[in-house]
Every structure is written in C-alpha cells, then in structure tokens.
A and B are shown apart, each in its own frame.
Chain A
Amino acid sequence: MSFHRALPLSLLIGVSGATYAQAVEISYLTHWSPETVALLEGAADRYAQEHPDVSVSVRAVPFGDLLTTIRSQSGSSGPTISGIYDLWLPELVRDGLVDPAPQNATDEVRAAWPAGIAAASTVEGTVYGYPNEINVYALNYNKALFAEAGIENPPSNWDEFLAAAEALTDPGKGQQGFGLINSWNSGVVHPFASFLVSNGGALIADGAPALDTPQAGGVFGLYDQLASNGWSLPEMGTADANTTGPYLDNFVSGRTGMIVMANWWESALRGGMGDDFANIGTAPIPVGPSGEAPSSISYSWLTVVNASATDEEKAAAWDFLTWLNGEGTGEDGASAMADILMSMGILPSRTSDVEANAAALDRDFLAGYVSVLENAQAFPLVLGGQEFTDALQQIIESLEYGQISAEEAQETAQADAEVILERASR
C-alpha cells in the first residue's frame, strides 16, 4: 500500500479511535429536583473536563416513579447509574440488576464510611454502591404556635407530646396538634418506626417481625389516641406523588403544630415558608414509656451501576462515582456529592464529608437531626422490605382513619409481616 493511500486510512482509524474514546456515554437516574439536578450536572461537567472521554447525562423522575423506572429500564439501554433507596437493594441484587463494586470502590466504602452505613450498601458481604445521603427523623415544631399555646419547650416524652398535641389543636382555626402523613409508604412507616424505636422496640428483630411486642402496641395506641381525640386529622395529611401535598401545605401555613419528618425536608420547608422558616424548631423524637432515650430510624441512599451496562460503561460509571464521592472534589475538602446533598439540607454520610461540613451541620434545623444520629437504628433491609412497608402503611392509615382499632392494627400488622417475610425468603 502506497503512502498516499495509507495516510487516509491511518487518519480514518485514528479518528474512529478518538471517536470511540469520546463515545463512552453514561447516564445517571435520580429523583432530585431540577435545582439539584443542575448541581449534579455541574459536577459532571467538572468531571468531564478532567475526563474528556466520558460524558455523563442526568435524568430525573419523581420519587414515586423511581423504582418502577429502575426496574422497567434495567436492560443495557437503561440508566448506567441510579440513585436508590437502600431498602430496594436486596431485591435488585437478587434479580441481578446491579453491578458489584470493583475492589477499589469496595475498599473505599469500607474505609471512608461508618460501618453501619457501609453495611446498607452491602448484600452478603459484597458492596454494591457508594452510599451518599443519610436521613434520620426528628420532631419539627412551630415555635410561634407553641408560644401561642403557652408551651415553652418541645415535648421530650409521650405524656408531654400528647399534652402539646391537645393544646395545639384548635378546630375553630382548622389547626391540628400533630400531623400524620398518609398516601406515601415510607412517609407513613418511617415516623411510626421512629416512635417505635424511641419506645424501645423494633420493626424486625433477629430477622423476624416484632410488631407484636408491648412497645409496638404502645405506638399503635399513641396513633389511636392522636386520631380518636382529633389532635391529628388524617384528612390534613395527604401527600402527593412528589411527597408534598396538603401535609406539607398545612405545616408550612401554620395549621399543624408538630410533625415528625426527615432532615431532607429542609429545602421544601424553606421554600414553602420563606422568612417563617425561622419559626421551625427541631427536637429529638419524644421518648415512649418503654424507651430509655430518643431515637430514630435511619435510612440511606446509594448510587449503583447497571449490571447490564457494557464493560466500558461500567468502568466509566464507577470511575465517575469514585470521583463524585471522593474527598476534595467539592468545597473545603468535602466531596462533590456532599456539596449537592448539603444544598438540600441532607446529611452526607462519608466521614470526611461530615467533618468538612461540621459548621454547616451545626445550624439550628440540622443540629436536631445530627444529635439523634448516634442512637439511630437502620431501617431493616430484608427481602420483601418494600411489600412489608406497603402493608404496614395500609394498616397505619386504616388506624388513623378509625377503620380499625389499635389492637386490630397490631395483630394484623404482625400477621402480615410474618407472611410477607416468609414468602420473600422462599
């Protein structure tokens, strides 16, 4: 082959090789809001400057559609990276939808995150993703309404809590003492579980449902008291597909005195309340008669990689996640992910991110959450966890609406949970 014939071919090969190097496109599926997606896209752009051979596109769906989207688009054309709720991980692993983390990522997760949080990214000893956010629950209360009702301090135990709920209730103003959420599975079950662990109980103990304990009975009874006395009006607690709706509206507009909610609501509360956000106080969950200290359940989110992606896409995805969650890729030594999370009022979970954001985490609203982190108990990650959550949600809502008694609720919840976990383990 002569030189003048070989040159165009060489150029063609060179160009096609460069094109191939440019062609690693990975996608990132999340449920974040457009503002937060913009931050993630900004981080992806910074990564692309250092890695011109990889491009990252971000796609967002509402939280309510996230799991369905992950499951229905799990093939090779699906998103390369997905942000998932840790409860979903065991079943996604069982179905072979997520890629085990490479050794370097595994080592980093185990070394740089607290053991309990790293465990939530692990199934049978294998790490499947980078943990990012951690959420716990606390009591949010309206200081202005407390002052009007003559209550000086947030309740620290159930007696004080019920007394405050009664004092804050004013049917004439359409005002309820405590807001119970409905129509959103984890939104219903997580506050219930937080009251339960603050009463010395647990949803699942030693792999078996523990809803038949006196501690659990106490929480069903607490909910019954709130609803039957009119201190909580379930009609004011409906959530919509974006997990806001009348429940949020009633709290931000001062028609609900107290709620139990996770820290990630800070941005929604700020957005809804404006200057009135200064009226919101945060306190630990009131301790039940069988409990010893305030507690909360905790749950985390992690980013996983599609098992059906190509090897090049997987490699690029893990490299991007390592960078995104890596120390120093964000402000003041934090990770880029931590910066994104902190913009929403979400607690980062990497140990170095917590240290880098120590001052920001000390602000009034978040400090109440950080204080319960130490005693928080992880929401149980079991096969059938999603169905278990759905079933318990239905029972709690039936109790709130007065369709069943506290005793019936407890009995049915335990029976359902036993069957669900047994079926899932077959």
Chain B
Amino acid sequence: MLGPATALIGFFILVPMVLTIWLSFHEWSSQTGFSAARFVGLRNFEDLFAPISVGRDFRRAFVNTAVYTGISVVVMLPLSVLLGLVVHQREVRGGQFLRTVLFATYMVPMIAVALVWSKLYSPSEGPINQILGWVGIGPQPWLSSPQTALYALIVLNIWQQIGYFTVLAVAGLTQIPSSLYEAARIDGANRVQSFFGVTLPLLRRTLLFSTVVAVINAVQVFEPVVLITQGGPAGSTNVLTYHIRRVGIERAQGGMGSAMAVALMLALIVAVVAIFAFNRKGEEQ
C-alpha cells in the first residue's frame, strides 16, 4: 500500500510546489489558464530586489515577517518553559486549572480574538490604556502607529499561542525521570543547577519541535493582519502571507505572487535547517 500512498502524497504536495516554482518564472494572471503563462526567466525575482514599489513592499513584508517570527519565538519558548514548570509542579494548587486556562486561549477562534484585542488596544476607550493611565502612563497608539502596531500583533500572537507551547513543555517535563532530579539533589545541586543541568538538556527535543512549529506558525501569520490592521499603518504590519495574497489574488499577478511564495519557502527552509544545525551543534557540545 506504500506505493499508492506515496503517489497520493506526491501528487498533493509535490505538484503544487513544483507548479508554484514553475509559475514564479512566468508572467501569469491568476484568473487565466496555465497555458496563458508567459516565460520571463528570473525577472520576477529581479523585481523583488529592485528599487521599485513591488520590491520595496516585498522586502518590507519580509522584514516584518522576520521580526514577528523572531520576537514571537524568542519570547514564547522561554515563557512556555517557565509556565510549564509552574503548572507541572504537582504541589501547586490549581495547576490543572491553570493548564486548562492557558490552553483555552489557543482554542478561541481568531475572529473572536481579533474583535476583543482590537478593542483592548483602542487608543481612546481601550482597557489597556485605561490601566496604563492609572499608573500615570499616557495613552499609547498601539495599532495606530507604525512604531507599535507590529509589536501589538506579536503580543496578541504570544497570548494566543502560549498555551499550546506550554502544554508541549509540560509533555516534555513529564518525560524526565524524577530519579535524575533526586540524583542531582544528592550531588548537591540546587534548583537552578538542576534546571540547567537536568531539565533543559532533557527538554532539548521538545524545544526543537516547539521552535520549528513556532517558526512555521509565525511565518504563516495572516488572520490577525487581515482582521485587524490590513497591513497598515504605513505598511508596518504587512507580512508576507498577506502581501502574497494581495499581489497574487487581488491584483491577479500570479507569477509575481508565486515568486514571493518561493522566496518565502526558501527562507523558511533556511531557517528550519539553521535550527536543526544549531541543535546538532549543541548536542555535540
């Protein structure tokens, strides 16, 4: 049965990928048949790096996506381990309840999250600014300023995803034998030394998995941008998936959109390979 299964997977995964790569070398309106595609060589890729609006917008979206991904992962993973340690301790009362609450954020539909958070961030009547006002901090523009809008979306992303990664961390923590902590304690290790000497090394595989998933999730950010900011203000939240949709579907520039998708795919492959290489190097050390 392996043959048909492999053929099916190959058809549904490889064919669209190959087609996207093929289209990236063509000028093609996504509203016409593939036969209407006109070969243009590397021109689409050259345009992505040219000093014209299509290239400028792509590069801006690329940087925005990288910043969104980098900060999300760097903040979310340590936080998930920290929260995992808290809820994993059996002696902590309410740990199970806290775990459920944390995971609940992951299950809330994005449309509801978008509605609530856009109100939370409201400059005039938003609760966040009201709370800041109580401690003497003036109203912040949040989603209305190019300086803060992307970071406001990152906070939203961390809030929504942290529960999922905490559950992963807890799953990893349960795999660590308690005898190792006992041995460390007998050797005179304190809690911090146990964490760095036992917990963290044995969480390596869990963290590797979490990192890869978190990177892929963050790179594919789309819904909060569509629902809350539409890429603005001043392009500050224009991320690659949203930009590719705008170019490939709204403007029907299927060839250019495919070139952007290929560039995104290559960047993602490089990032994931770098994560694995970094992990292997750590294991060797």
Interface residues of A (CB under 8 A from B): 64, 67-68, 71-72, 74, 91-92, 94-97, 174, 182-184, 234-238, 240-241, 246, 249-250, 253, 255, 386-387, 390-391, 394, 397-398, 400-401, 403, 415-416, 419-420, 426
A-B contact pairs, 21 of them (CB 8 A): A68-B249, A91-B251, A91-B252, A182-B233, A182-B234, A183-B232, A234-B145, A235-B141, A235-B145, A241-B227, A246-B144, A255-B124, A386-B250, A387-B53, A390-B57, A390-B246, A390-B251, A394-B234, A397-B234, A398-B235, A401-B146
Query: What 10 additional pairs, Cβ within 8 angstroms, besides A182-B234, A237-B144, A416-B52?
Result: A95-B32, A182-B233, A238-B232, A246-B144, A255-B124, A387-B54, A387-B251, A394-B57, A403-B234, A426-B27
B70 at interface (Cβ–Cβ under 8 A)? no
A97 to B249, CA, bound (A): 14
Pair B146/A241 contact, Cβ less than 8 Å: no
Contact flags (1/0) for B160-197 with A, using CB distance below 8 Å?
Answer: 00000000000000000000000000000000000000
Contact flags (1/0) for B117-150 with A, using CB distance below 8 Å?
Answer: 0100011100000000000000001011110000
Q: Tell me which of A74, A95, A400, A419 contacts B52 (CB under 8 A).
A: A419
Q: Tell me which of B53, B123, B235, B246 contacts A419 (CB under 8 A).
A: B53
A64 to B249, CA, bound (A): 13
Taking CB atoms, residues of chain B closer than 8 Å to A182 are 232-234
Q: Of all chain B residues, which has the CB nearest A392?
A: B53
A246 to B141, CA, bound (A): 11
Q: Of all chain A residues, which has the CB nearest B231?
A: A183
Say yes or no: A394-B53 contact (C-beta < 8 A), given A182-B232, A234-B233, A238-B232: yes
B31 at interface (Cβ–Cβ under 8 A)? yes
Taking CB atoms, residues of chain A closer than 8 Å to B232 are 182-184, 238, 397
Pair B233/A183 contact, Cβ less than 8 Å: yes
Q: Of all chain A residues, which has the CB nearest B60?
A: A394
Pair A238/B144 contact, Cβ less than 8 Å: yes
Pair A71/B250 contact, Cβ less than 8 Å: yes
Say yes or no: A71-B252 contact (C-beta < 8 A), given A182-B233, A246-B124, A426-B27: yes
Pair A67/B250 contact, Cβ less than 8 Å: yes
A68 to B30, CA, bound (A): 12
Q: Tell me which of A174, A246, A386, A397 contacts B251 (CB under 8 A).
A: A386
Pair A71/B31 contact, Cβ less than 8 Å: yes
B226 at interface (Cβ–Cβ under 8 A)? yes
Pair A96/B32 contact, Cβ less than 8 Å: yes
B230 at interface (Cβ–Cβ under 8 A)? yes
Taking CB atoms, residues of chain A closer than 8 Å to B253 are 387
Taking CB atoms, residues of chain B closer than 8 Å to A235 are 123, 141, 144-145
Say yes or no: A236-B144 contact (C-beta < 8 A), given A183-B230, A183-B233: yes
Q: Of all chain B residues, which has the CB nearest A426?
A: B27
Taking CB atoms, residues of chain A closer than 8 Å to B31 are 71, 74, 92, 95-97
Q: Tell me which of A68, A391, A415 contacts B250 (CB under 8 A).
A: A68
B245 at interface (Cβ–Cβ under 8 A)? yes
Taking CB atoms, residues of chain B closer than 8 Å to A250 are 124
B72 at interface (Cβ–Cβ under 8 A)? no
Pair B252/A95 contact, Cβ less than 8 Å: yes
Q: Of all chain A residues, which has the CB nearest B228?
A: A240
Taking CB atoms, residues of chain B closer than 8 Å to A246 are 122-124, 144
Q: Tell me which of B141, B230, B234, B249 contacts A72 (CB under 8 A).
A: B249
Taking CB atoms, residues of chain A closer than 8 Å to B234 are 182, 234, 394, 397-398, 400-401, 403
A397 to B234, CA, bound (A): 5
Taking CB atoms, residues of chain B closer than 8 Å to A97 are 31
Q: Tell me which of B29, B227, B233, B249 contacts A238 (CB under 8 A).
A: B233
A386 to B54, CA, bound (A): 13
A238 to B118, CA, bound (A): 12
Taking CB atoms, residues of chain A closer than 8 Å to B27 are 426
A249 to B124, CA, bound (A): 10
Taking CB atoms, residues of chain A closer than 8 Å to B233 are 182-183, 234, 238, 397, 401
Q: Of all chain B residues, which has the CB nearest A416?
A: B53
Q: What distance in Å separates the Cβ of B187 from its nearest Cβ neighbour in chain A?
A: 57
B210 at interface (Cβ–Cβ under 8 A)? no
A234 to B141, CA, bound (A): 10
Q: Of all chain A residues, which has the CB nearest B226?
A: A241
Contact flags (1/0) for B21-32 with A, using CB distance below 8 Å?
Answer: 000000101111
- Best-surrounded residue of A235, A241, A390, A420 (most CB of chain B within 10 A): A235
Q: What distance in Å separates the Cβ of A88 from its nearest Cβ neighbour in chain B?
A: 9
List CB contacts (< 8 Å) of B232-260 with chain A.
232-235, 245-246, 249-253
Q: What distance in Å separates the Cβ of B145 from its nearest Cβ neighbour in chain A?
A: 5
B64 at interface (Cβ–Cβ under 8 A)? no
Say yes or no: A394-B235 contact (C-beta < 8 A), given A67-B250, A68-B249, A238-B144: yes
Q: Of all chain A residues, which has the CB nearest B146?
A: A401
Taking CB atoms, residues of chain B closer than 8 Å to A236 are 123, 144
Taking CB atoms, residues of chain B closer than 8 Å to A390 are 57, 246, 251
A141 to B246, CA, bound (A): 34
A386 to B235, CA, bound (A): 16
Taking CB atoms, residues of chain B closer than 8 Å to A391 are 53, 57
Taking CB atoms, residues of chain B closer than 8 Å to A74 are 31
B229 at interface (Cβ–Cβ under 8 A)? yes
Pair A240/B118 contact, Cβ less than 8 Å: yes
A71 to B145, CA, bound (A): 31
A271 to B32, CA, bound (A): 42
Taking CB atoms, residues of chain A closer than 8 Å to B32 are 95-96
